Amino acid sequence: MAYVFDRQTPIYLQLMRLFRRQVISGEWKIGQQIPTVRDLALQYGVNPNTMQRALSELEREGLLSSNRRAGRFVSADQAQIASVRCSLAGSQIADFIEAMRLLQFDWPTLQQLLARKWRETDGID
C-alpha cells in the first residue's frame, strides 16, 4: 500500500519530513543502512527520482551519508541529529505560540494549560 501524500506540498518535501522524523526519533538508528532508492520508491509509491531528491537533501542536511559501494546510512553525527531535532522543535513551538496568540491566551494561562495537559499525558492527573 502506497503512502498517502497531501496535494499542497511537494512529495519530496513530505518524504524529507517523514524520514527526518524517523532519524531524529531513532526509528532509523545511527549508522543503520537505509533501503535503496528503488525500494523506498516502491514502498511509498513514488518516482525514484523524487525519492532520490528527498534522500539527497537529507544528505545535504547531514542526516544521511552515502557510500557508493555500500549504500546510504543514517549519520553517525549525533550533534547534527540533535541540532535538527531542536530545529524541528523550535518550528513546532513557534507554530503553537502563534496559534495560541490567535486564540488570545496569555502566558500564565497557557503555562497552566500546558502543565495540566503534560500531567494528563503522563497519567499524573
Provide the pLDDT confidence category of residue 69 given band limits of 50, 70 and 90: confident
Per-residue DSSP letter, 14: H
Amino acid identity at 32 = Q
* Domain co-membership, 65 together with 102: no
Instruction: Write the CATH number for 72.
Output: 1.10.10.10
Q: Is the pLDDT of residue 83 over 90?
A: yes
Boundaries of domain holding 110 = 79-121
* Domain co-membership, 27 together with 61: yes
* Domain co-membership, 85 together with 47: no
Instruction: State pLDDT tens for residues 7-49.
Output: 999 999 999 999 999 999 999 999 999 999 999 999 999 999 9
* Domain co-membership, 42 together with 93: no
| Distance of alpha carbon 20 from alpha carbon 10, whole angstroms | 16
Q: Is the pLDDT of residue 1 over 90?
A: no
* Domain co-membership, 68 together with 88: no
Q: Is residue 109 part of a domain?
A: yes
* C-alpha cell, 7: 496535494
* Domain co-membership, 83 together with 70: no
Residue that the C-alpha cell 499542497 belongs to? 8
Mean pLDDT value across the chain: 93
How many structural domains are present in the chain?
2
* Domain co-membership, 16 together with 71: yes
* Domain co-membership, 28 together with 60: yes
* Domain co-membership, 85 together with 50: no
Q: Is the pLDDT of residue 99 over 80?
A: yes
State the angle between helix axes of 78-102 and 11-24 in degrees (0 to 180), rounded to the nearest 10. 110
